[in-house]
Amino acid sequence: MAYDMILSPEKTLLDLRFAVLRNRLVDTLTERNMLVHQRIPYFKARYTHEFGDEELQLAILDYQAARASARVRMAQALKNQGKPINASTLAQQLEVAFHDKQAAIKQASDLVTWATDHLENTTPLSPEDSEKLHTDFKTLVKALHPDLHPDQSPRDANLFVLAQTALADGNLDLMATLVELLATAGTESVPAAPSTDPATMTAPGADPFRFAKRDLFYLAQRYLHEKAQTLALYEEWPLNVAGLLDVPRWVAQQHAHYQQLLQQWPLQVAADNVRYGVLIGDLGGINDEQ
C-alpha cells in the first residue's frame, strides 16, 4: 500500500500543493518581517523627523487646552455649590486627572529623539545590498521560522532571533554569517510535511490521504491569516503615508495643517484662562498653577 501511495497521482498533487503553499507562506513571513523590522521603523523615523516637533507642540497644547477647560468646569462647579475655589487644590486634582496627557507629551518627545537617532545611526542599504539581505533572510525564514518549525530546537530559535536582529540593523555580515552557519551545521528542526504515514490510514474505507489533506487545509489557513496580517500593515501608519513623504506638495499641506492647529489652540487656552480668572476674580493671576 505504501508503494502505491508514493506513486499515486493524488499523493503527487497533494505534495505539490503543500510545497507551493509552504513557499508562499515563506514569502509572506519574509515580507512581514521585512516590514516590521526594516520598512516600518524607517518610515516611522522619517515621518517623525519631518513632523515630530509639530506633533510634540500639539501634544503640549492638547494638554494645556484640556486642562484649562477642565479647570473652568471644576471652578464653576465649586462656585455653584458656594464653596471656595482653591487654586492649589485644583492644580493637584488636575495633575492627577491629566496624567495620561502628560505621558503622551513624554512619548512624543521620546519619539522625536528616537527618530533622530535612528536616521543618524542607520545607513540606507543600496538596492543590491537590500536584495542580498532579503534573500539571505528568506533562507533563514525557510529553515528557522517558528511557524514553519514549531518543534525547533533552542539553538534554532536563537539563530532566528539573531536573524531578526540582523534584519533590523541591516547587518549584511551577520546575516551572511548566519546563512553560512546554517549551511554548515544544518538545522535541528524537522520541517513540517503532510501526514501520509500508511500505518495510520488502514481503516477500511478511510481516505488514505485524509491526514495530508488536513495538513494542507491548516497550512492554507495559516497562509491566508499571515497574508491578511501582512496586507493590513500597508493600511496602517506609517506605511499608509510612506509614498507621500516623497511628495513635496503633500508634505507642505501637512505642515500647513499642523501650523493652523498650533495657531488655533492657544486662543482656546487663553479664552479658558480668562473665564477662570473671572470666576476667581483675579484676571491678573489667571495663568498661575497652569
- The answer to whether residue 159 is domain-embedded is yes
45, 244 Cβ separation under 8 angstroms? no
Q: What is the pTM of this model?
A: 0.80
- The answer to whether residue 14 is domain-embedded is no
In terms of Cβ atoms closer than 10 Å to its own Cβ (0-12, 13-18, 19+), residue 196 is buried
Alpha carbons 75 and 288: distance in angstroms, whole number: 14
272, 65 Cβ separation under 8 angstroms? yes
215, 19 Cβ separation under 8 angstroms? no
- The answer to whether residue 206 is domain-embedded is no
pLDDT, tens digit (0-9, with 9 covering 90-100), for 12-67: 888 899 999 999 999 999 999 999 999 999 999 999 999 999 999 999 999 999 99
- The answer to whether residue 237 is domain-embedded is no
Count of CA atoms in the C-beta half-sphere (13 A) of 241 = 16
pLDDT, tens digit (0-9, with 9 covering 90-100), for 112-142: 999 999 999 888 889 999 999 999 999 999 9
What are the residues whose beta carbons fall under 8 Å from the beta carbon of 265, sequence distance 6 or more? 58, 61, 62, 64, 65
- The answer to whether residue 238 is domain-embedded is no
Q: Quote the crossing angle between the two packed helices 99-121 and 40-80, to the nearest 10°.
A: 160
Does the pLDDT at position 266 exceed 60? Answer: yes
Range(s) of the domain holding residue 157: 39-198+243-285
- The answer to whether residue 3 is domain-embedded is no
Mean pLDDT in residue range 220-238: 96
Most distant pair of Cα atoms in the chain: their distance: 97
- The answer to whether residue 259 is domain-embedded is yes
Mean pLDDT in residue range 98-115: 95
pLDDT, tens digit (0-9, with 9 covering 90-100), for 169-228: 999 999 999 999 988 877 665 555 555 555 444 555 677 788 888 989 999 999 999 999
- The structural domain count of the chain equals 1
| HEC readout, 121-132 | HCCCCCHHHHHH
What are the residues whose beta carbons fall under 8 Å from the beta carbon of 243, sequence distance 6 or more? none
DSSP state at residue 207: -
List phi, psi (to 5°) of 98: -110, 30
- The answer to whether residue 28 is domain-embedded is no
